[in-house]
Amino acid sequence: MGPLIPNGILTNEWNIIIAVLIGLAFGFILEASGFSSSRKLAGVFYGYDFAVLKVFFTAAVVSVIGLYYMDYLGWIDMGMLYVHPTYLWAAIIGGAIMGVGFVAGGFCPGTSLCAVAIGKLDAWVYVFGIMLGVFIFSEAYSVLEGLYNGSFLGNITLVDSFDIPANYIIFGVTIIALVAFFVSDIVRKRIKKVFY
């Protein structure tokens, strides 16, 4: 069964059509959830709007439960799915740089594309900035190569890292998400409203 294209059930030509359709849905969901507004996105860091936290963690929990359940039912082979590789220091340092970029610019790449589509000029500048950042990385690649390729731990999952079964990890992640949703509502009530 799944994944359909790697298993040859759908031909590779479908890949491009599916890419556009998935992108359409992705852009629509992000924009309709308010992710084309940098002021709404930044709210998560100041406690006046937790849409980012709620959308992001709901999506993560739904997708991980769904994928593992489909694997259990034999509809999809988890072993064939692409697991984002773990380069320990690259993940930490790259993530930290992205974090500063997020709170300074108010977008991440996906959300900035949505804002570009509805005419936010700050997002146009932001996307230009991302491209400059990619250019700087590429030109400085000889310096950054050690970080980029170093501390490689493989395409590991939390199941490998903690050596506990996936169902316990998924249950734990779900509980963390529910607690975060609950706490975020309490915090938002205590913080001065920001209108945007």
Partner 1 sequence: MDKSSENNRHVYWNPYFGGFLLGLLIIFTFYMTGRGLGASGAMKSSVVTLVDKVSHEHTINNAYYSKFVKDDESPMNTWLVFESLGVLAGAFISGSLSGRIGFRVQHSPKITSRRRLVFALFGGILFGLGAQIARGCTSGAALSGMAVLSTGGFITMLAIFGTAYLFAYFFRKNWI
Contact present, 76 and 142 (Cβ < 8 Å): no
Least CB distance to partner 1 at residue 192 (A): 8
| Phi, psi angles (nearest 5°) of residue 47 | 85, 10
Examine residue 97 and tell whether it contacts partner 1 (CB under 8 A): yes
Beta bridge partners of 154: 86
Q: Which of residues 38-77 bind partner 1 (CB under 8 A)?
A: 38-40, 42-43, 45-46, 48, 50-51, 54-64, 66-67, 70, 75-76
Examine residue 128 and tell whether it contacts partner 1 (CB under 8 A): yes
Examine residue 174 and tell whether it contacts partner 1 (CB under 8 A): no
Q: Which of residues 143-162 bind partner 1 (CB under 8 A)?
A: 144-145, 147-148, 153, 155-161
Examine residue 164 and tell whether it contacts partner 1 (CB under 8 A): no
Is the Cβ of residue 119 or residue 189 nearer to partner 1 in the bound state? 119
DSSP state letters, 32-91: HTTTT-HHHHHHHHHTS--HHHHHHHHHHHHHHHHHHHHHHTTSB-GGGSPPPPEEHHHH
Question: Strand, helix or coil at 2?
Answer: strand
Q: Which of residues 6-45 bind partner 1 (CB under 8 A)?
A: 6, 10, 15-16, 18-34, 36-40, 42-43, 45
